[in-house]
Amino acid sequence: MRIFTLTDTHLHPEIDYHAFCNCAHENSGNFYDFIPQEGSRLTVSFGDLPPTGDVPSITIPCLRALVRGLTAGSRGDLDGLARELNGTLYLLGPRDLCAPWFCALVDPVRHELRYVNAGHEPPLLIRNHGGTNHGGTVERLERTGAVLGLSARGPHRQETTAIEAGDILAVFSEGVSDALPGVRLQDVILEHSQTGAAGLTGRVLEEAHRAASRTWPDEDRTFAAMRVVGACQRPLAEESAVESLAMCAA
> Where do the H-state alpha helices sit in 15-150?
60-72, 78-92
R_g (Cα) of the chain, nearest Å: 17
pLDDT, averaged across the chain = 83
Task: Give the pLDDT confidence of 201-211 residue by residue, as tens digits.
Answer: 999 999 998 88
CATH architecture of the domain formed by 2-249: 4-Layer Sandwich (3.60)
- SS3 state at 26: coil
Band of residue 96 on the pLDDT scale cut at 50, 70, 90: confident
Task: Give the pLDDT confidence of 177-210 residue by residue, as tens digits.
Answer: 999 998 999 999 999 988 889 999 999 999 998 8
pLDDT at 92: 86
Is the per-residue pLDDT at 55 higher than 70? no
First to last CA, the chain: 6
Residue 72 burial (C-beta neighbours within 10 Å; 0-12, 13-18, 19+): exposed
Band of residue 51 on the pLDDT scale cut at 50, 70, 90: confident
φ, ψ of residue 201 in degrees (nearest 5): -60, -45
pLDDT at 161: 97
Domain boundaries, the chain: 2-249
